[in-house]
Amino acid sequence: MRPTILIYILVMALTTYLVRMIPFTAFRKKITSRFARSFFHYIPYAVLAAMTFPAILYSTGSLLSATVGLAVAMVLAYFGRSLIVVSLAASFVAFLVGFLPFG
């Protein structure tokens, strides 16, 4: 452990923690505004969508295997399969497609 680097890491960890902790701990009220409630209802799905697209297409290093994996995930998710089943199946299919000569 080099001391300078340890200081960087401490600052980094502390900043990250405070950004997470302060609003999460200080915010106590139940939000009553209908607009705010609606906003908070939609935000988790919007965050996930923004993180997933288009990043999922580049998640395997091959557009083809990622697209097939995405399709498999969407079909299984549509039929309500569990998170772990969907992610393992998508990954396994992407793995198989990776062996195709044109993949």
Partner 1 sequence: MSHTSPYRYFDGLRDGLPIGLGYLSVSFGFGITAVGEGLRFLEALIISMTNLTSAGQVAGVTVIVAAGTILEMILTQFVINLRYSLMGITLTQRLDCRCTTPHRLLMSFGLTDEIFAVAASKPYPVGPSYFYGLMTLPYIGWAGGTLLGALAGQILPESIRVAMGIMIYAMFVAIILPPMKKDRGVLGAVLIAALLSCAVAYLPFLSWISEGFSIIICAVVAAVVMAILRPISDEADAKEEGQA
Task: Enumerate residues 39-68 that contact partner 1 by CB under 8 A.
Answer: 39-56, 59-62, 65-66
Smaller CB distance to partner 1: residue 43 or 102?
A: 43
User: And the tokens for 102?
Assistant: 């044109």
CA distance 83 to 77: 8
Smaller CB distance to partner 1: residue 56 or 101?
A: 56
CB-based contact 65:73 (threshold 8 Å): no
Does the footprint of partner 1 cover residue 16 (CB under 8 A)?
A: yes
Does the footprint of partner 1 cover residue 27 (CB under 8 A)?
A: yes
Q: What is the DSSP letter of 96?
A: H
Does the footprint of partner 1 cover residue 11 (CB under 8 A)?
A: yes
